[in-house]
Amino acid sequence: MSTSSSSHPAQAGRAQFILNQLPSGGLFAGQTWRIAPEPFPLGKELYDELESLGRVLLQFNRAANLLYRQSVAGKQPPWVAQWLDKGKPTKIVSVQRTTALKHELPRVIRPDLLLTEDGLVLTELDAVPGGIGLTAWLNQTYSMMGVEVIGGADGMLHGFGSIFGESPVVHVVVSEESAVYRPEMAWACRELNALGYCFALRDTEPFEFAEGDGVYRFFELFDLDRVPITDTLFEAAVRKRILLTPPPKAFFEEKMLLALLWNDRLYDFWRRELGASFFLRLKNLVPYTWVVDPTPLPPQAVIPEINLTDWQELKNLSQRDRELILKVSGFSPEAWGSRGVYLGSDLSAADWAQVVDNALAGFEQSPYVLQRFARPKLVPATWFDFEKSELVAMHGRVRLCPYYFVSGDGDEARAKLGGVLATICPADKKFIHGMSEAILAPCCV
């Protein structure tokens, strides 16, 4: 359904204003999205839930970091570190076990939250998220129209700047694999400099840095072979010459951390380290998740919750019972965006069987996780069609991405909400991501 711009001159004017604010190079290389004349509204209760979620996720990262270290030391089951180290080169395993970095955590936390009939569902936790510059630009642009958005005009920018503490200069290193995000980070660096910070956009070639500088690692660790400066940065981080974030810890880039949250063998650990209320809250948010480990089970054993005795039996599930997502856990070029993600009920039996075979065969190098599928609910939304000069109403499915910025160290660290990005995809899309048919908008209360 659509209406002409003459019927809604205010919305048409807003949409045109937003479009006119786009930087000349855009924000995503070769990517576009649909512009909404209004921010996406959240109820007060939902906003309060998002505002308080940052400290829960920060505590989860602290606990996950401790779990890995204690597994390496033999104080927790050794298979935890063995799973998380699958496919990782010796260099990464060695660096992430370095005592000098043992307390380092990601300083940007971004969960993927689906809006369902039963509330929020957390499907992933991204330690190297895109969208920081985009969300900052959206917040700034909508604020220029007098709209109150979560985080305000500069909350994203000041939040990002705050994670580097007293670092005199911050270098933002963007790899070729992440090049689609280079324009948004270039814009963010310019805006941060206008606010009094000192940010420099870098590619992956060696560059000069000074004692005390900050470095933002905008590339996944699987991409190290194409980032010549990594050895220099890792050595400087270990020697505490620079503040490097996210830290070089590949296990923070593994989706299987959510599976470990559900593992009964680790129940006491999570409850103790998270506290009963945070533990319960996370289990209410995160759908049941399994690591697809092909190790044979004893005859009397079953895989919990799904009651299979062998992962091969996944192939025999009916289409109705295949409301399950198979996805690469991490350390793979297929592990970000919507790549490497498969919905069982959306595939033929033969295609699903092939995906299961691939997951089992790839365990030693790139483990997969299985997760219960959460279907987002339909919500009304509008966007402006500039070609037809009309406002278009649609029903779409929503993913909310709040950005939490962690400042301070140790027990003094705090995670502050800088802004919330809403991605609204057409109802017929199975996976929600920043496609050209999606509306991308900031959120308001």
pLDDT score of 6 more than 60 = no
pLDDT tens-place string over residues 299-317: 899 999 999 999 999 999 9
Q: Give the CA distances from residue 362 to residues 34, 78, 136, 324, 339, in Å, rounded to whole numbers and listed in that order.
A: 37, 21, 38, 19, 16
Q: Give the CA distances from residue 351 to residues 188, 293, 325, 334, 412, in Å, rounded to whole numbers and listed in that order.
A: 42, 20, 13, 18, 49
pLDDT score of 368 more than 90 = yes
Share of residues in the chain with pLDDT > 90 (%): 85
At residue 308, the 3 state secondary structure works out as: strand
pLDDT of residue 23: 93
Four-point Cα dihedral 71, 77, 79, 84, nearest 10: -40
Higher pLDDT, 5 or 267: 267
- pLDDT band (50, 70, 90) for residue 337: low
pLDDT of residue 109: 98
Mean of the pLDDT values across residues 411-438?
87
pLDDT tens-place string over residues 85-131: 999 999 999 999 999 999 999 999 999 999 999 999 999 999 899 99
- pLDDT band (50, 70, 90) for residue 444: very high
Residues counted in the chain: 445
d(CA 226, CA 345): 37
pLDDT score of 203 more than 70 = yes
Mean of the pLDDT values across residues 266-270?
98
Share of residues in the chain with pLDDT > 70 (%): 97
d(CA 351, CA 356): 9
pLDDT score of 145 more than 60 = yes
Checking 66-73 for CB contacts under 8 A at 24+ apart, the result is: 66/273, 67/260, 67/266, 67/269, 67/273, 68/96, 68/249, 68/251, 69/97, 69/102, 72/97
When the pLDDT of each residue in the chain is averaged and rounded to a whole number, the result is 93
| Residue pair 390/3 in contact by the 8 Å Cβ criterion | yes
Apex 183 CA angle, 161 and 50, nearest 5? 50
pLDDT of residue 427: 86
Placement of tokens 């092939």 in the chain: 354
pLDDT tens-place string over residues 182-199: 999 999 999 999 999 999
pLDDT score of 396 more than 90 = yes
Mean of the pLDDT values across residues 405-417?
93
- pLDDT band (50, 70, 90) for residue 331: confident
Higher pLDDT, 99 or 340: 99
- The neighbouring-strand residues paired with 92 are none
pLDDT tens-place string over residues 28-70: 887 889 999 999 999 999 999 999 999 999 999 999 999 999 9
- Provide the terminal-to-terminal Cα distance of the chain, rounded to the nearest Å: 26
pTM value is 0.95
Sign of CA dihedral 93, 99, 103, 108: negative
- pLDDT band (50, 70, 90) for residue 25: confident
Which of 285, 259, 270, 256 is closest to 50 using CA atoms? 285
pLDDT score of 385 more than 60 = yes
Radius of gyration from C-alpha coordinates of the chain: 22
